[in-house]
Amino acid sequence: MRFLFRLLYPHLYLSYRFFVVLLLLAVCLATGFVVPVFFLVGQIGVAALLALLLVEIFILFFKKNPVTAKRHVASQLSLGDENKVTLKISHDYTFPVYLDVYDNLPYQFQIRDQHFEVLLDPGHQTAITYYVRPNERGEYEFSDIYVYVAALTKLIQRKVVVKERQQVATYPSILQMKKYELKVFAKTASTGIKKIRRLGHNNEFEQIKNYVQGDDIRTVNWKATSRRNELMVNQYQDERAQHVYSVIDKSRSMRMPFNELTLLDYSINSTLAFSNICLRKGDKVGLMTFSDKLGTKMAAERNANQLPRIIELLYRQKTRFLEANFEMLYHGIRNHIKGRSLIMLYTNIESEYSLKRVLPLLKKINQLHVLVVIFFENTEIDKAAEMEPRHVRDIYLKTFAEKYKMDKKKIALELRKNAIQTVLTTPEKLSIDTINKYLELKARGII
């Protein structure tokens, strides 16, 4: 019967309450042959139920578009973050109604049963807020909003389809970028970001000139003053912007997942936050990607369009399921990065054997530039190394995990022995540790 109603009236739904009451009345009618009063009660009940059904159908369907719904979501979602979505619902009925709201989420979330039930009085508006966490970059399409309306008895529901199709794009995390920018440049101390004092001046010497009123007395050059017998001061110019490049490995080793994101996604989010800090610090920022061959190449610049260009380029990066070609990377850096620069290399070195293959090339890059190799700890391996073994299998697993963990530390030690700056970090701490390393090198005057 319910299926027949859906065929005839696709926007009319009989609730389970209707069928429960109908079943009880059918029992009364069936037992009416034994107890006549039950038959009379059943007849009256069926007539009352049908009358109530007709009344509810009339009051729910007499308006053409009784429900208004609007979805508010950012045009750009942030990868790996909780993004806020708000539904604003109102209706034109003159009596309170129950609303069962289904928002058709993009298929990437794989959520089909999320709904919200509210009792809404006439003339009022309700706001429903929930959060979504996208785990891959790309286009996300929100479909129409389905609202099931019922009167106070909830015997039937009217399905209202609100046309609210909306397409948004998931970009590298803008939220994280703003968060780390606030941490670095806030006057108050913030957790995670190290406050490192800059050694020496933040400006470069330009010339010695005669003192004029308004010059900083601390810049007086006493030797020149004694020679010229008049007050002389040092004049400084703003420190020249350094060239900083983020180089991202897109090979299959960066496909490894952690907390529903790949290492490539973590590197992309970190690159965006790090590039923003560099631009705010006055440096020029560039980008390069590679796997079995060179990918994106963007020269280091410092202008208003540089950060939006970086965001667009990072948005389009995809993993290539091949081995990384570090020899091609070396030649690409030689050909495309001319001046001495800071190179932040995001990669994933898994074993000492892998390091031996790439170390000669990393040393050559480090001779030309200041190279920082950023690679990852495996947090799942760390958990296995810390577990209490209960079976023989657990002992083998714990031993392997401890060896793997030690190998990562040996790789970092070997890189430092060869004068290569190193950051060994977990995916969750990648952005903080990368920014801290940059601030450290800048404070020490290495770049």
Mean pLDDT, rounded, for 276-286: 91
Q: Is the pLDDT of residue 184 over 60?
A: yes
Closest alpha carbon to 383 in 366, 359, 400 = 400
100's torsion region: left (phi>0), alpha (psi -120 to 50) or beta? beta
Quick one: pLDDT band at residue 1, thresholds 50, 70, 90? very low
SS3 373: strand
DSSP 352: H
Is 43 within 8 Å of 64 (Cβ atoms)? no
What is the C-alpha to C-alpha distance for residues 313 and 431, in angstroms, rounded to an integer? Answer: 18
Is 379 within 8 Å of 405 (Cβ atoms)? no
DSSP 241: P
Which pLDDT belongs to residue 8? 40
In single-letter form, the type of residue at position 431 comes to S
What is the C-alpha to C-alpha distance for residues 270 and 176, in angstroms, rounded to an integer? Answer: 8
Higher pLDDT, 286 or 25: 286
Which pLDDT belongs to residue 235? 76
What is the C-alpha to C-alpha distance for residues 90 and 126, in angstroms, rounded to an integer? Answer: 7
Q: How far lies 444's CA from each of 150, 196, 197, 202, 279, in Å?
A: 68, 9, 9, 12, 19
Q: Is the pLDDT of residue 188 over 50?
A: no
Q: Is the pLDDT of residue 189 over 50?
A: no
- For residue 241, what are the contacts with CB-CB under 8 A and spacing of at least 6? 282, 283, 284, 302
Phi, psi at residue 323, to the nearest 5°?
-75, 150
Is 297 within 8 Å of 332 (Cβ atoms)? yes
User: What is the pLDDT of the chain when averaged over all its residues?
Assistant: 83
Is 236 within 8 Å of 204 (Cβ atoms)? yes
pLDDT tens for 199-250 read 444 555 567 888 887 777 788 888 888 888 888 888 765 556 789 999 999 9
% the chain with pLDDT above 90: 44
Q: What residues form DSSP beta bridges with 422?
A: 373
Quick one: pLDDT band at residue 125, thresholds 50, 70, 90? very high
Closest alpha carbon to 57 in 106, 15, 112, 92 = 15
Residue ranges covered by each domain of the chain = 2-54, 67-171, 174-197+240-443, 203-238
Mean pLDDT, rounded, for 134-147: 92
What is the C-alpha to C-alpha distance for residues 258 and 277, in angstroms, rounded to an integer? Answer: 25
Which pLDDT belongs to residue 217? 79
Is 362 within 8 Å of 262 (Cβ atoms)? no
Q: Is the pLDDT of residue 114 over 60?
A: yes
Q: Is the pLDDT of residue 62 over 70?
A: yes
Which pLDDT belongs to residue 170? 93
Which pLDDT belongs to residue 179? 85
What is the C-alpha to C-alpha distance for residues 311 and 98, in angstroms, rounded to an integer? Answer: 44
What is the C-alpha to C-alpha distance for residues 268 and 317, in angstroms, rounded to an integer? Answer: 9
Closest alpha carbon to 15 in 159, 133, 142, 141 = 159
SS3 291: coil
Q: Is the pLDDT of residue 363 over 90?
A: yes
Domain 67-171, CATH homologous superfamily name and number: Immunoglobulins (2.60.40.10)
Q: Is the pLDDT of residue 421 over 90?
A: yes
Closest alpha carbon to 327 in 348, 354, 357 = 357
Is 127 within 8 Å of 88 (Cβ atoms)? yes
Q: Is the pLDDT of residue 3 over 50?
A: no
pTM higher than the cut 0.75: yes
Instruction: Find the range with the poorest average confidence among 184-198, 199-213, 242-256, 367-381.
Output: 184-198
Is 106 within 8 Å of 142 (Cβ atoms)? yes
pLDDT tens for 155-182 read 788 889 999 999 999 999 988 888 888 7
Domain 174-197+240-443, CATH homologous superfamily name and number: von Willebrand factor, type A domain (3.40.50.410)
Which pLDDT belongs to residue 191? 54
Closest alpha carbon to 426 in 383, 363, 393, 372 = 383
% the chain with pLDDT above 70: 83
Quick one: pLDDT band at residue 51, thresholds 50, 70, 90? confident
Q: Which tokens is 379 given? A: 């947090």
Which pLDDT belongs to residue 34? 57
Is 387 within 8 Å of 373 (Cβ atoms)? no
Closest alpha carbon to 315 in 77, 81, 74, 73 = 77
- In the chain, what is the straight-line distance between the N-terminal and C-terminal CA atoms, in Å? 77
Which pLDDT belongs to residue 52? 75
